[in-house]
Amino acid sequence: MRRLERTAKVILGLFSLLILLNLVAAATDELVLKRRNSLDDFLAAQASLPMFEDGAAARKMFADLSRFMRTIQYHPLRGWAYGEFHSETFNTDVAGYRSNGDAAGGGDGEIWMFGGSTLMGWGAADRETIAAALQRLMPRHTVRNRGQMGYTSSQELIQYMDLLAARPAAAPLAVVFYDGKNEFWAGCAGLQSRNTVWAHEMRTLYDVGRARALGSSLYPFVALLGEPVVTALLRARHGLYLNPRDDASLCAGVEGHAELVFNTMLQSWRVAKMLTERNDGRFLGVLHPNAALSKSRTDHLQPTALLDVPYLDAYRSAATSLRRTALPWALDLTAAYDDAGDEYVFLDDTHVTPRGAELVATILRDQLEATLRGSDAPTQQ
């Protein structure tokens, strides 16, 4: 009889635990759904911005972007990567790299471009990205868009080394690292640890992967245990410092931290330059424009998109430092749109319109052609 009672208690305990875990999972799913709806609402709001004359086409494009974001998956070295996706406006290959649309490349060497969502083409059709615009301006070469949403220069460097290892005989003629917001958002928002890539990966998986409730290898654990528990376990395992407050800024509160973030980006560029030149290529590191530092038209943006960014002072300081270093292979484009007049060049604080992509591509074309000739150094914009 006692054995039967003990067995019944064990079964009841397991059943109660199962119910509890399912309740936790259901509550987490509710949060996921709310987060996903919030993302969709944000994308819908962007589709209604005044630079989009065809509202239906813009909504379709942002809907495609939302679906593409659900291809995110864990990557053991870079933290995360995106997968293959095909639609009328948005196409990537099996490695998650964006198509240039109808912009055809030539056989006179390849130009590899690395960066985050701005380079990848947030809010842009295939033919409207910076890489596609550059491809049309440099038709003798083949421009490869290697942009991945959320990437910093550290991840781009790992990505670049992966590609070189996989294709040693196909080294590029030129390489461009197009960096800015992600570098300072990650570096200034408390995502510092012994393994910065891991910390940034975790935050992005929460912000993006959890929003779609698919694909992340951590999602089952988050669903069962809850995000605070998983975060604590990961912090203990990997030594992470994940600051949950988006308004926290180490760059503003810790002396020398902004300089550390800038030097980390610069060091990634230096290593990428060394790798490129070993293969007889040319390298260009770019600090991309930011709406808060630009004199271009921004009346369509909410004030918070320009002012409430804790990394802004660090970004401004980085632009000054980059100009002061006067490196012939490093380009500050924070003022690239100052003469754009009434044209819309920004979608938000960082992502750009097709016209913004064209203007940047023109500058990059001029700099790359000069670099490939081995003549003029990059001009600080």
- Which pair of structure tokens corresponds to residue 371? 């670099």
- Model-level pTM? 0.79
Query: CATH homologous superfamily for 97-190+243-373?
Result: SGNH hydrolase (3.40.50.1110)
pLDDT band at 25 (very low <50, low <70, confident <90, very high): very low
Model pLDDT for residues 114-146, shown as the tens digit of each residue: 999 999 999 999 999 999 999 999 999 999 999
Span 200-247, pLDDT tens digits: 444 554 444 444 444 444 445 545 555 555 555 544 444 433 344 444
Rounded Cα distance between 53 and 42, Å, is: 19
Please report, as a single letter, which amino acid is at residue 319: A
**For 267-309, what is each residue's pLDDT tens digit?**
999 999 999 999 999 999 999 999 989 999 988 887 666 665 6
- H or E, element range at 105: none
User: What is the predicted pLDDT for the residue at 233?
Assistant: 52
Average pLDDT over residues 99-125: 93
Mean pLDDT of 162-175: 87
Half-sphere exposure of 9 (CA within 13 A, CB side): 6
pLDDT at 144: 97
According to the per-residue pLDDT averaged within each range, which of 76-80, 188-192, 195-199 is highest?
A: 76-80
Under a CB-based contact definition with an 8 Å cutoff, are residues 72 and 208 in contact?
yes
**Structure confidence at residue 225 (pLDDT):** 53
Whole-angstrom Cα distance, residue 152 to residue 37? Answer: 27
**Spans of all domains in the chain:** 97-190+243-373
Distances (CA, A) of 377 to 134, 373, 380: 19, 10, 9
Mean pLDDT over 76-88 rounds to 89
pLDDT in tens, 44-79: 888 888 989 898 999 999 999 989 988 887 777 887
pLDDT recorded at residue 239: 42
Q: Are 179 and 265 in contact (CB under 8 A)?
A: yes
Over residues 326-363, the pLDDT tens digits come to 899 999 999 999 999 999 999 988 999 999 999 999 99
Q: Which carries the bigger pLDDT value, residue 167 or residue 298?
A: 298
Is residue 372 scored above 50 in pLDDT?
yes
- Cβ(201)–Cβ(79) below 8 Å: yes
Which runs of consecutive H residues, i.e. helices, occur in the chain?
Answer: 2-47, 55-69, 117-120, 130-137, 153-166, 181-188, 196-204, 210-212, 219-225, 227-238, 250-253, 257-278, 303-307, 312-325, 354-373
Using the 8-state DSSP alphabet, how is residue 131 labeled? H
